[in-house]
Structure 1
Amino acid sequence: MITRLTVLYDAGCGLCRTARTWLASRAQLVPLEFVPAGSDEARRRYPALDPAETLADITVVADDGGVYTGDGAWIICLWALDGYRGLAARLSRPDLRPTARRIVAAAAAVRRAGSSGAGPGGPVAAEPEFEQGYGSDCGGTCDA
């Protein structure tokens, strides 16, 4: 039984930072802890994980030893949130797995745009990394 998840994210990527903030702001059924991928802390905790691979895409480590990457990592992050388990279950279908990443990115983009001061219905300037696609502001290292 999973009781805690550690999310290794690229702290140099605007989308990853915004997604982290969005995930952290949601009510969690399973606590999410965030550790910058490739950091000394991440290397100390998870010496068996390749730091370059954890920087290439989100990696989630469960306290039961499970390691989730890519689409599976986004799905388990949604699964950990209150009110998102049904969505996570639907997105776990093979044909929908890539959609999990887009949903988190879209939610993060809405949150980020909303914090820019634009009110409901008002103009919202698009963030460059959301216009170009997932991970484009970090050189594409987290683009999968």
Structure 2
Amino acid sequence: MITRLTVLYDAGCGLCRTARAWLASRAQLVPLEFVAAGSDEARRRYPSLDPAQTLADITVVADDGGVYTGDSAWIICLWALDGYRGLAARLAAPDLRPTARRVVAAAAALRRAGRDGQDQRTGPGLTQGYGSDCGGTCDL
């Protein structure tokens, strides 16, 4: 049984930081802890994970030893949130899996738009693509 998830995210990516803030601001059924991917802390905790891979795409480590990357990582993040388990279950269907990261990116961009007045239709992650401001290290 999973009781805690650690999200390794690219702290150098504006959209990753915004997605992290959005996830952290939601009520959580399973606590999410955030650690910068590639950091000394991440390397100490997870020496078997390739830091370059964790910077290329979100990686989530469960306290039961499970490691989730890419679409699976986004889905488990949604699954951890109160009110999002049904959506996570729907997005787990094979044809909808790639949509999970877009849902989080869009929610994060909308939150950012509300905070800084940016037009939500052209906010990061909507027209530019996930992580377009991170120097190309993100995988979408």
Once the 2 structures are TM-superposed, how far is the Cα of residue 143 of structure 1 from its aligned partner?
Answer: 2.3
Whose Rg is larger?
1
> Secondary structure of 2:116's partner?
coil
- Give the match for residue 58 of structure 1: 58
Distance 1:112 1:136 in 2: 15
Deviation by residue 1:12-67 (Cα, 9 ceiling, x = unmatched): 00010000000000000000000000000000000000000000000000000000
Once the 2 structures are TM-superposed, how far is the Cα of residue 142 of structure 1 from its aligned partner?
Answer: 1.2
Distance 1:93 1:142 in 2: 23
Distance 2:56 2:34 in 1: 16
> Secondary structure of 1:97's partner?
coil
Superposition pairs for residues 65-84 of structure 1, below 5 Å?
Answer: 65-84=65-84
Q: Which runs of 5+ in 2 are unaligned?
A: 118-122
Moved over 3 A (4+): none
Once the 2 structures are TM-superposed, how far is the Cα of residue 2 of structure 1 from its aligned partner?
Answer: 0.1
Once the 2 structures are TM-superposed, how far is the Cα of residue 139 of structure 1 from its aligned partner?
Answer: 1.8
What's the % identity of the aligned pairs?
91
Once the 2 structures are TM-superposed, how far is the Cα of residue 95 of structure 1 from its aligned partner?
Answer: 0.5
Distance 2:25 2:52 in 1: 27
Deviation by residue 1:97-126 (Cα, 9 ceiling, x = unmatched): 000000000000000000014xxxx99xxx
RMSD of aligned C-alpha atoms? Answer: 1.9
Q: Which runs of 5+ in 1 are unaligned?
A: 124-131
Q: What is the aligned length?
A: 132
Once the 2 structures are TM-superposed, how far is the Cα of residue 136 of structure 1 from its aligned partner?
Answer: 0.8
Deviation by residue 1:76-105 (Cα, 9 ceiling, x = unmatched): 000000000000000001100000000000
TM superposition score normalised by structure 1: 0.89
> Secondary structure of 1:138's partner?
coil
Distance 1:73 1:107 in 2: 16
Once the 2 structures are TM-superposed, how far is the Cα of residue 141 of structure 1 from its aligned partner?
Answer: 1.1
1:99 aligns with 2:99: yes
Distance 1:42 1:66 in 2: 16
Distance 2:104 2:92 in 1: 14
Distance 2:56 2:97 in 1: 18
> Secondary structure of 2:65's partner?
coil
Higher helix share: 1
